[in-house]
Structure 1
Amino acid sequence: MKDQSPYSLDEVIDRRIYTDEDIFRQEREKIFKRTWQYVGHESELREPGRYRLTTIAGEPYIVCRDQRGEIRVLGNTCTHRGATLVRGSRGQCKAFRCPYHAWTFDLEGRLIGVPIPEDYGPRFRREDFCLTQARVETYEGLIFACLDEQAPSLDEYLGEAAQYIERSCQGKEVIGYNKCLFKGNWKLYQENFGDGYHPPFLHQGMGPAFLSTYEANGEAINLGNGHMLLKYYPPEPQHLDLSKLSAALGIPLTLETMKTTGIINPYPGDYDSVLSVFPNFIVPDIVSVLSVHRLTPLAPDRTLLEITILGDPQDSPEFRQFRLRQSTVWGPGGRAGIDDIAVAEKCQRGFHAKAIATSLMARGSSDERAGMVFNEYTIRGFYRQWRHYMGWSG
């Protein structure tokens, strides 16, 4: 690119942010330790003692419900010699017992058992060796944790994104899981879900497979705080090729069956949405598939994607099966998910071409907050927030 670029800081992205080891380490300290992180769903922790494991900023944590019914996020490391207390991904217990020397902690993180404690002498006090704890807040069943005591409340942090979480997630429960590792930077997947430009071209099994035109009835909205929203309104019947859509979904369709299965009239509202919460949390609510995507950065070019599938407790058995069948749209084997993962990996490989230093994100007027779904207001808002946390002024 020429030295005098016609584009603003908002409109070009330095590709080093996807590949540089030092930038990756700074992200853990400056972003992931200071923001609210989605760590689970309340329906996974119905009884005291239920737990699931998570990672925040590279550190292991246990998300559990204690004996009083409160949700806690505890450090998954023994305060004695550092061994992790819990293995696997989820389970139930009455206390957390270290496999190394049997130090035992209750569900509130207090040290309650130490073999042969007298040998430590009078200086030793159990209360000095409790498990570390993160701040915890919940919203519409979603559990969030934050390591920064000075960070704003969850309500303030979510801002305008809260109403869309409420719309999609209120009253829902976990009905399934999907996860995979991919060889790409975490931001590539996150920004992809604020990008309404790619679906008709990348998703050959989802876009051109059923649209007879590239017209898209929707909008892209920068919600502030780095949060992004894509809205898709039901396609006009004249823009649909029902034979191709039937083949793509494996369901014989007419306009009437599309309404009853939620494809023209999305469930639960009058539009489909893709909400991306800064920095690494996504809620796609598309064609009766409601899921929560969480990205855990492992390296500049390696990311863990965990997908939690949500359903309504009032779903009929038939509709529950439809949700689960449709949920395969995401993940490494899904009709759309496989494309999103593959293109992130293609971009990551392409960044090795050092002759091209920046990526362009300039679609749409730079001062607009909402508009045509094909434009990139949302992604620019995401990277403004990224620069704010990273302390990048230029």
Structure 2
Amino acid sequence: MNSISQNIRVQQLETVLGPIHQATGLSNEFYTQQSHFEFDRDQLMGKTWACVGFASDLAKNGSVKPVDFMGLPLLLMRNREGLVQVFHNVCSHRGMKLVEEAGEVQGVIRCPYHSWTYDLNGGLKGTPHIGGINQHKDQRFACEKHGLKPLRSAIWMDMVFVNLSGDAQPLEELLAPLAERWTQFLGEDGMSLLRRRPQHDMTSIEVNCNWKLAVENYCEAYHLPWVHPSLNSYSRLEDHYNIQFGEHFSGQGSYAYNLSDVAGTHLPKFPSWPQDRLRNAEYVAFFPNVLLGIQADHAFAMQLDPISPSKTIENLRLFYVGDEALGDEYAACRNAILESWKVVFAEDVASVEGMQKGRSSPGFAGGAFSPEMDVPTHFFHQWAARRLLDVNGRG
């Protein structure tokens, strides 16, 4: 990037940081260009904690699941003792991709190229003919130095997070503001009551939009009357409030969540949830790529999996309160909750895809924000712009 182009880019990003009534949003190239998509991966995602999957998808010890994270081949593995770890999904020998499909490893992971083998802790165990025919060891080659390359990883609420750069603050510190906020609903240990059934209570939606547009849409309730008519019939625009706190959180809350009555469900509730606030609900984006929701009787997490500048897969997982909620007597209730959320998220598809199409127009240069209704969305734009400016050497 030449100095003129970089100066223009810095100036545009600076306008995002202005007061909301004067600010513009991120410009089109941040949603359409492959170079910016890779920049998002390395800077917006890579220098903090990004979600790459769900631990419960590795149902048994010995399970492996390959994931493609914005072009990076990664491998989620649950070892023989049940520990979930994340490695680069490439052989240390010649860079062959190791695992193509999720499954259960009975013995070792074997590279299909030269048959080098690895255990489920990433250790290199077999190097056939490395020292010549039938010489499977060589004193010139130290196997212990050539295992799979691990990534810094952590698990919270069943989500597997990685920090590509390796130097972000601990995940629990990043999540502390959210834990403090939600104590008002869940008490001190409410998160420990969350339960889900592996391979159940889940859905995935492929949308033709940049991942950032999915975050932006989730952050605000402004679109509710026109995009979600059923939801708006009981949780109206005027029943919502903006949320923004800490450095990595913004979203919306409702004083009139009533899905349990509308869907006819009667699931167990969080024991610490205030009885006079049973219709409260909060929907918070945890930047960069996690969307969270809590209600008195269930919670959900959505991982945004960016596939390309204009394609994202939304992976939704539902959680219920305590072991009892997973019983057969609540099967119909769980199904009603899942179907209701499928409808809500499907209603958003046309909006985010329409915004993506609009990012090809020279008539759009970042747009404007409502000073009242778009506060959470502007908060996300500011979060992104600050990090992009830091990389560009601002100040």
Verify the 8 A CA contact 2:220 2:251 in the aligned structure 1. no
Give yes or no for the alignment of 1:33 onto 2:55. Answer: no
Task: Write the distance in 2 (CA, Å) between the matches of 1:164 and 1:64.
Answer: 32
Partners of 2:227 and 2:121 in 1: CA distance: 47
Match of 2:149 in 1: 132
Q: What code does the residue aligned with 1:143 have?
A: V
Q: Which digits, 9 at most, give the CA deviation of each residue in 1:146-182, with x for residues without a partner?
A: 1222211112222312346784743323332321322
5 Å-filtered alignment, 1:219-298, equals: 219-234=241-256, 249=263, 260=266, 269=273, 270=278, 271-286=280-295, 288=297, 290-298=299-307
- Post-superposition shift, 1:286? 4.9
| 1:155 equivalent in alignment to 2:172 | yes
Letter of the 2:338 counterpart: S
1:90–1:358 Cα change, 3 Å? same
Shift in alpha-carbon separation, 1:165–1:69, aligned structure 2, 3 A: farther
The answer as to whether partners of 2:48 and 2:168 remain within 8 angstroms in 1 is yes
Q: Which residue of 2 aligns with 1:368?
A: none
- Distance in 2 of aligned mates of 1:92 and 1:281: 29
Q: Compute the displacement of 1:186 (Å).
A: 0.5
The alpha-carbon deviation at position 124 of structure 1 amounts to 2.2
- Aligned equivalents of 1:25, 1:105: Cα separation in 2: 29
TM-fit CA distance, 1:272: 1.4
1:267, CA displacement in angstroms? 9.3
In structure 2, relative to structure 1, the CA distance for the partners of 1:115 and 1:141 (3 Å cut) is: same
Q: How many angstroms apart in 1 are the aligned matches of 2:296 and 2:365?
A: 38
Q: CA deviation at 1:282?
A: 0.9
**Structure 1 residues 53 and 314, CA gap change in structure 2 (3 angstroms):** farther
Please identify, of 280-289 and 100-109, the stretch whose mean Cα deviation from structure 2 is larger: 280-289
Change in Cα spacing, 1:53 to 1:268, as seen in structure 2 (3 Å) is farther
Tell me how far apart the structure 2 counterparts of residues 106 and 235 of structure 1 sit (CA, whole Å). Answer: 48
Contact 1:206–1:335 (8 Å) recurs in 2: no
Q: Deviations over 1:189-228 (max 9, x none)?
A: 11111112112221123223x46xx453332111222311
Matches for 1:374-389 after TM superposition, within 5 Å: 375-389=373-387
Amino acid at match of 1:117: I
How far apart, in 1, do the equivalents of 2:155 and 2:349 lie?
29
Look up the match of 1:14.
26
- The code of the aligned residue for 2:337 comes to Q
Partners of 2:150 and 2:306 in 1: how far apart?
21
**For the residues of structure 2 that align with 1:93 and 1:221, how far apart are their CA atoms?**
47
SS in 1 for 2:169: coil
Q: Deviations over 1:302-335 (max 9, x none)?
A: 11222223234221423243123321334xxx32
Contact 2:206 2:312 in 1 (8 A): yes
Match of 1:217 in 2: 239
Which of residues 359, 366, 388 is equivalent to 1:358? 366
TM-score between both structures, scaled by the size of structure 2: 0.79
Matched, 1:112 2:125: yes
Matching residue's letter, 2:366: T
Match of 2:140 in 1: 123
Distance 1:84 1:171 in 2: 38
Letter in 2 for 1:285: I
Matches of 2:179 and 2:96, distance apart in 1: 37
Partner of 1:337: 345
Change over 3 Å in CA distance of 1:68–1:359 after alignment to 2: same
> 1:216 is aligned with what amino acid?
E
Question: Cα 1:162–1:154, aligned 2, differ >3 Å: closer, same or farther?
Answer: same
Say if 1:284 and 1:291, in contact at 8 Å, map to a contact too: yes
Counterpart for residue 214 of structure 2: 189
Using the alignment, how far apart are the partners of 2:313 and 2:180 within structure 1?
Answer: 27
1:278 partner amino acid: F
The structure richer in helix per residue is: 2
Distance verdict in 2 for CA 1:233–1:319, change over 3 Å: farther
String of CA shifts for 1:340-365, please: whole Å, max 9, x gaps. 1221111111222212212222332x
1:103 to 116, 121, 132: 116
> Retained in 2: the 8 A contact 1:12–1:362?
no
Distance 1:77 1:225 in 2: 34
Q: Does 1:66 pair with 2:79?
A: yes
Contact 2:152 2:166 in 1 (8 A): yes
Q: Which runs of 5+ in 1 are unaligned?
A: 252-257, 365-374
**Alpha-carbon distance in structure 1 between the residues aligned to 2:63 and 2:320:** 20
> Which residue of the other structure, out of 309, 318, 334, is the alignment partner of 1:323?
334
Change (3 A) 1:91 1:376: farther
Q: Return 5+ residue gaps in structure 2 as ranges.
A: 1-11
What is the DSSP-based 3-state SS (H/G/I as helix, E as strand, rest coil) of the residue aligned with 2:196? strand
Among all aligned residue pairs of Structure 1 and Structure 2, give the percentage whose two residues are the same amino acid: 22
Match of 2:8 in 1: none
TM-score, normalised via structure 1 length:
0.79
